Amino acid sequence: MISLKEAMKLSSSDILELRKDLKNKIKETAELGAYVEQLTGGEIGDEYTGVPIAVKDNIQVKGWNITSGSKILQGYVAPYNATVIEKMLSANLAPFGRTNMDEFAMGSTTESSFYGKTLNPLDHTRVPGGSSGGSAAAVAAGIAVAALGSDTGGSIRQPAAFCGCVGFKPSYGRVSRYGLAAYSSSLDQIGPITRSVEDAALLYDVIAGHDEHDSTSANIKFESTAPKLNGERKLTIAFIKNYIDGASEEVKKALYDVRSKLESMGHKVIERDLANSKYAIAAYYIIATAEASANLSRYDGVRYGRRAEVSNLKEMYAKTRGEGFGAEVQRRMLLGTFVLSSGYYDAYYIKAQKARHFIKRSYEEVFADADIIMMPVAPNVAYKFGELADPLQAYLSDIYTIGVNLAGLPGITVPAAKNKDGLNISAQFIGRAFDEQSVLDVAYGLENLLKGN
């Protein structure tokens, strides 16, 4: 499978061949190939024209069925484009096919999707991760050159790691959320899943920047990162020892090997501990479910989406949601409604917000001594379907990714090793808010070393 950078250099005839190849690979969605032809008018203009990018099923594309992997949104057709889609179209990139996801981005495996689970291209018996599992699997399988995902607590980075791709979550506010179906508004962030760090930087440069349609969009100067990628930069990297030592033996060994490689490249590696893990899980699931409860209240059978056949208004609300939402979404909505209810708001939600500030401060303390933080993406490699049937165990598996969202920081995952079964192990690099360049640079340098460039 070619990279996004390589695709940009193709001739007109090569682009047409690429389209033809993609159509053959996605026979069941051949109409999307026709959409790309219509979108570009068959005219090849500049370096981006016609390069197909897969889109997660919670990002609005005008005229497409966008359902967030849920039964309740069956039949909904997006009436407008998300800002990231408008930016891609302005660059003559071609949105090409929507990818499967956990329902309303609530999950880590894609198993909660109304359409059924997505398979991991590295091993079909194992989860591809989630909630952007479809995007990661499409890129890893060579179906897509690159894909857009969304990351609320690791939903770009974890599936990218499980499928052996690069997953990049920008700082909160760097990429517009306008047109992204909301799960947790203060945590959600759109970002790219690609086959290389350079491709991640290229796609990120297209979609990033201030957007007046998004009140949470950061109104600060944006500079393109791809032209300035520098794998030779020497940085101070904080090796989060208590997180890495808490992972499985094979993950731990791989990351200690990465540490040695980083030191051989001239980086200064220092050891630090983060004591926020026991607070991060609790704070994240209180804040995320509370915001989800509020955001999903709009799906009531009145305005759009599925409506149950009932005889009165009260039944319509209850039955529409009961039939339309899956078990995981109902579970999180109930939890969110509980923590926001009278008598529990101060005891849970307010305390969770205070813990969030503590977590952000703990990262800032590490950044006082380091440019970059390094830690695992997940405690283990991709696990088998059904292996984490207990929802609480599944929530705990997000321990190394959710703190980054709570603090609003940029993070990237880079494939670093394979275990004995051929499953991928990735390293995660985290930077200061809005310092995406340093995150991309250290990842780019490591990637080049591992590839022998």
Residue 277 backbone dihedrals phi, psi, to 5 degrees: -60, -40
Of 182, 194, 174, give the one whose Cα is nearest residue 54. 194
For the question of residue 56 being annotated catalytic, the response is: yes
- In the set 112, 155, 426, 438, the catalytic residue is 155
* DSSP-assigned letters across all residues of 408-453: T--EEEEEEEE-TTS-EEEEEEEESTT-HHHHHHHHHHHHHHHHT-
The Cα 277–Cα 24 span in angstroms is 46
The number of residues making up the chain comes to 453
Of 96, 197, 202, give the one whose Cα is nearest residue 147. 96
- In the set 108, 113, 131, 426, the catalytic residue is 131
Beta partners for 424? 418
The Cα 121–Cα 142 span in angstroms is 9
For the question of residue 131 being annotated catalytic, the response is: yes
- In the set 23, 56, 87, 117, the catalytic residue is 56
Token pair recorded at residue 280: 């991060």
Beta partners for 194? 166
Token pair recorded at residue 365: 């303390």
Q: Is 291 exposed, middle or buried (0-12, 13-18, 19+ CB in 10 A)?
A: buried
Inter-CA distances, 335 with 113, 145, 291, 391, Å: 20, 38, 11, 13
Residue 44 host element (H or E): none
Would you say 434 and 220 are in contact if contact means Cβ atoms under 8 Å apart? yes
For the question of residue 155 being annotated catalytic, the response is: yes
Q: Which residues are catalytic, by number?
A: 56, 131, 155
